[in-house]
């Protein structure tokens, strides 16, 4: 019997341990969320596929200056009266090698374009990943915010419930009027409604997080706290930070590609030289008329030179068109640089405002907390009525809620500033 009890105890401990491990698996930290987003997010995956496509295109371009080998074969049957001149049945096979000797520098320029295109798509992935990480961090702190609001709503309900109990006793004793009780009941109903909204909002935010980081469901809990003592990012030099922004890298690559496209169009106005050599083999009845042999083996070579002579200025205008496009892209780069400098300064100012807001709201909460304590003591002593306590509770709840919002906004503002200077990771 004792052995049976030991076995049951051991099984019970295993079940508890397994459930504990499962609960631990459902805890999600900010760093874990970011790591999952980098590998599982659909936008990030799509950006990786674009890089792979650009790499394949680059490999194709780099193969274009190598000799091309082509082979062909065909069988021929001719009827009367042609069979009097040609073999009635014959087969012909050929093997040719072609090599571009000179193309005005187009191949070399195309290689540079393909390499730059890979860099552009790499920067595009950096931008996509930065946007996804900011979205993940924003959603994470919103979840923390709403979770704290849920806890606050429960605390507020407890305060109201206790006050309602005291006022109900006073009303039953005939000390106060019923409207004092009704005011607290209305406030309690409002608190329950706000709690319901907060829980619904939390569920939506967790679904959004699951989609961002590639989880199949939202069966997880976030783990962190609204800590205002988190290390802050030092103010960066806006112009130095430009080099970290993927948008600037992308536009720089785009300007380079447009410039190289101009060289390609200029090369169209230059001669093209190509060489081809092909070997032939044919078989058929009396296919070689010189000796009535059934086999024929031969070869031929071609050196071709294509020289553009006159096209009514069409190629020249294409070059001008491309030059204007390059200048337009250059202006876009300069404009983006100026706007990003403003964006960085604005993000830093918003972060400073968020820090100050935390300090102010915490000061207000301390005052509201003291105010509520004093009103509660006086209510217990019978020197103030329930209405005064209710007002103090409402003021405390509002101040507490503003502290939660301020701390969450500080974390989000800090993440936004890191993204603006290209350091979110």
Does residue 18 belong to any structural domain of this protein?
A: no
Of the ranges 20-24, 221-225, 409-413, the best mean pLDDT one? 409-413
Alpha-carbon distance of 424 to 130, in angstroms, equals: 6
Does residue 397 belong to any structural domain of this protein?
A: yes
Does residue 43 belong to any structural domain of this protein?
A: yes
Contacts for 323 with CB less than 8 Å, ≥ 6 apart: 262
pLDDT higher at 26 or 146? 146
Lowest mean per-residue pLDDT among 73-87, 95-109, 148-162: 73-87
Can you give the length of the chain in residues?
Answer: 425
**DSSP codes, 208-262:** HHHHHHT-SS---EE-----TTSPPPPPPPHHHHGGG-HHHHHHHHHHHHHHHHH
Counting beta carbons within 10 angstroms of the beta carbon of residue 418, is it exposed (0 to 12), middle (13 to 18) or buried (19 or more)?
Answer: buried
- pLDDT (tens digit per residue) in 34-59: 999 999 999 999 999 999 999 999 99
Contacts for 163 with CB less than 8 Å, ≥ 6 apart: 184, 386, 389, 390, 393
Does residue 2 belong to any structural domain of this protein?
A: no
Whether 403 and 288 map to the same domain: the answer is no
Whether 94 and 117 map to the same domain: the answer is no
Whether 216 and 279 map to the same domain: the answer is no
Alpha-carbon distance of 137 to 213, in angstroms, equals: 11
In which band, very low, low, confident or very high, does the pLDDT at 292 lie, cut at 50, 70 and 90? low
Does residue 415 belong to any structural domain of this protein?
A: yes
Look at the block and give the residue holding tokens 């785009």. Answer: 254
Whether 60 and 161 map to the same domain: the answer is yes
Whether 292 and 264 map to the same domain: the answer is no
Helices (H), 26-86: 30-40, 42-62
Question: Mean pLDDT, to the nearest integer, of 93-107?
Answer: 88
- pLDDT for 291 equals 63
Tokens of 284: 């058929």
Does residue 240 belong to any structural domain of this protein?
A: yes
Helix (H, G, I), strand (E, B) or coil at 360: helix
157 lies in which domain range?
A: 27-64+105-270+319-420
Residue 188: which CATH number?
1.20.1600.10
Counting beta carbons within 10 angstroms of the beta carbon of residue 146, is it exposed (0 to 12), middle (13 to 18) or buried (19 or more)?
Answer: buried
Look at the block and give the residue holding tokens 């995956």. Answer: 45
Alpha-carbon distance of 251 to 23, in angstroms, equals: 46
pLDDT for residue 165 is more than 80? yes
Residue 278: which CATH number?
2.20.200
Number of domains, the chain: 2
For residue 71, whether the previous peptide bond is cis, meaning omega lies within 30 degrees of 0, is no
Look at the block and give the residue holding tokens 């295993």. Answer: 14
Tokens of 243: 């080099």
- pLDDT for 197 equals 92
CA 61 to chain centre: 29
Counting beta carbons within 10 angstroms of the beta carbon of residue 78, is it exposed (0 to 12), middle (13 to 18) or buried (19 or more)?
Answer: middle
Question: Mean pLDDT, to the nearest integer, of 168-173?
Answer: 88
- pLDDT for 227 equals 66
Alpha-carbon distance of 261 to 323, in angstroms, equals: 9
Alpha-carbon distance of 403 to 425, in angstroms, equals: 27
Question: pTM of the predicted model, to two decimals?
Answer: 0.83
Whether 120 and 208 map to the same domain: the answer is yes
Whether 407 and 351 map to the same domain: the answer is yes
Alpha-carbon distance of 148 to 142, in angstroms, equals: 10
């Amino acid at each position: 019997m004792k052995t049976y009890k030991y076995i049951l105890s051991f099984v019970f401990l295993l079940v508890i341990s397994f459930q504990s491990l499962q609960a631990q698996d459902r805890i999600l930290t900010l760093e874990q969320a970011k790591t999952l987003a980098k590998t599982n997010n659909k936008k990030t995956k799509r950006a990786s596929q674009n890089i792979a496509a650009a790499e394949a295109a680059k490999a194709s371009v780099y193969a274009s200056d190598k000799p091309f080998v082509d082979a062909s074969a065909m069988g021929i049957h001719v009827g009367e009266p042609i069979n009097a001149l040609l073999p009635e049945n014959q087969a012909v096979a050929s093997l040719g090698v072609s090599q571009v000797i000179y193309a005005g520098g187009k191949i070399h320029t195309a290689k540079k374009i393909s390499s730059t295109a890979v860099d552009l798509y790499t920067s595009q992935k950096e931008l996509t990943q930065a946007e996804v990480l900011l979205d993940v961090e924003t959603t994470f702190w919103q979840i923390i915010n709403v979770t704290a609001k849920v806890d606050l709503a429960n605390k507020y309900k407890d305060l109201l419930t206790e006050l309602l109990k005291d006022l109900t006793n006073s009303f039953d004793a005939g000390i106060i009027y019923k409207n004092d009780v009704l005011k607290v009941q209305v406030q309690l109903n409002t608190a329950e409604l706000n709690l319901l909204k907060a829980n619904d909002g939390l569920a939506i935010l967790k679904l959004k997080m699951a989609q961002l980081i590639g989880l199949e469901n939202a069966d997880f809990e976030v783990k962190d706290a609204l800590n205002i003592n988190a290390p802050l990012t030092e103010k960066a030099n806006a112009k130095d930070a430009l080099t970290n922004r993927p948008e600037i890298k992308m536009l720089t690559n785009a300007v380079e590609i447009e410039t190289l496209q101009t060289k390609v169009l200029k090369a169209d106005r230059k001669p093209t030289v190509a060489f081809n050599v092909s070997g032939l083999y044919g078989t058929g009845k009396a296919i070689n008329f010189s000796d009535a042999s059934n086999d024929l083996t031969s070869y031929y070579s071609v050196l071709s030179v294509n020289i553009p002579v006159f096209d009514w200025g069409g190629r020249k205008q294409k070059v001008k068109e491309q030059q204007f496009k390059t200048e337009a892209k250059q202006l876009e780069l300069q404009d983006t640089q100026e706007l990003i400098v403003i964006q960085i300064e604005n993000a830093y100012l918003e972060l400073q405002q968020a820090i100050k807001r935390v300090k102010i709201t915490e000061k207000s909460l301390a005052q509201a907390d003291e105010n509520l304590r004093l009103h509660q003591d006086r209510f217990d002593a019978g020197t103030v009525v329930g209405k005064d306590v209710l007002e103090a509770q409402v003021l405390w709840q509002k101040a507490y809620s503003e502290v939660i919002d301020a701390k969450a906004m500080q974390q989000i503002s800090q993440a936004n500033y890191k993204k603006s200077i290209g350091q979110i990771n």
